[in-house]
Amino acid sequence: MSDGLDRLLPPAATLLARVDAVLVAHGVPPAHPVTALLRKLGALPADVLDAISAWRPAPLRDAAADLRQTAEEYASLHGLLTAPAGWAGPTFEGFAAHQAALSEFLGEPGLEGRLLATAAYLDEVAEWLDRSRGELARSVADALGSAEAVRVHASGDAEAAVAIATRILEAAAEAYDRGQEIADRWAGRLDEISYRPPASTAALPNEIRVAL
């Protein structure tokens, strides 16, 4: 499904390729804000456009929906494990220990909880991609309709190229900062969960009593 950035991509790619060529040919003023933006992102405006226009939120949302479905299945299994066993006897102690360990592994905050957390993370990243694409599209639209774009196309004006580059890179820098905030907020919350079996139990007589 296309959006505003997709529709602006062909003319934007042409303009920003021209902007990049002018920046490479003429350089940028050392004290200009665009210099710090170039250092921060390590990318020219056309590179930024290529990268962000390739971001697609829909597959992440689809994956999040699949994870929630799987979490529901784990919840059903967890419910079976926590149901009364209906039998007793010396061997039940060992069985109950394994049952409790597996129940903890499958439920909250085990695999079920981790699947739901991962789904929430994917939704947040998808929202970030959507917002980043939208904000870049607005910056691109402003650049395409600007007097600076006319000057860049007409004469390769260096000052105009710097102005356009600043506009595009500012949008990218804001996206970068929000993405870093998401990564920091989720750090450690999606680590792998390992199954912890119960401590070994002593051998018990094979005596079982079934509740009728």
Decide if 53 is inside a domain: yes
Kindly state whether residue 201 falls inside one of the protein's structural domains.
Answer: no
Residue 127 lies in a domain: yes
DSSP state of 32: S
**According to the model, what pLDDT value does residue 121 have?**
98
Helix (H/G/I), strand (E/B), else coil: 209: strand
- For the whole model, what pTM was predicted? 0.82
Q: What is the pLDDT of residue 135?
A: 97
pLDDT digits (tens, 9 = 90+) for 87-116: 666 677 777 777 777 777 777 778 888 999
Total number of domains in the chain: 1
**Is residue 178 situated within a structural domain?**
yes
Q: Is residue 176 part of a domain?
A: yes
| Domain-embedded: residue 206 | no
Structure confidence at residue 55 (pLDDT): 97
- 171-177: long-range contacts (C-beta < 8 A, 24 or more apart)? 171/132, 171/135, 171/136, 171/138, 171/139, 172/37, 172/41, 172/43, 172/48, 172/52, 172/136, 173/37, 173/40, 173/41, 174/135, 175/52, 175/128, 175/131, 175/132, 175/135, 175/136, 176/40, 176/41
Residue 133 domain flag: yes
pLDDT tens, position by position, 129-186? 999 999 999 999 999 999 999 999 999 999 999 999 999 999 999 999 999 999 999 9
**Contact call for residues 152 and 160 (beta carbons, < 8 A):** yes
Predicted pLDDT of residue 37? 97
Domain of residue 85 covers 4-194
24 inside domain: yes
Report percent pLDDT > 70 for the chain.
88
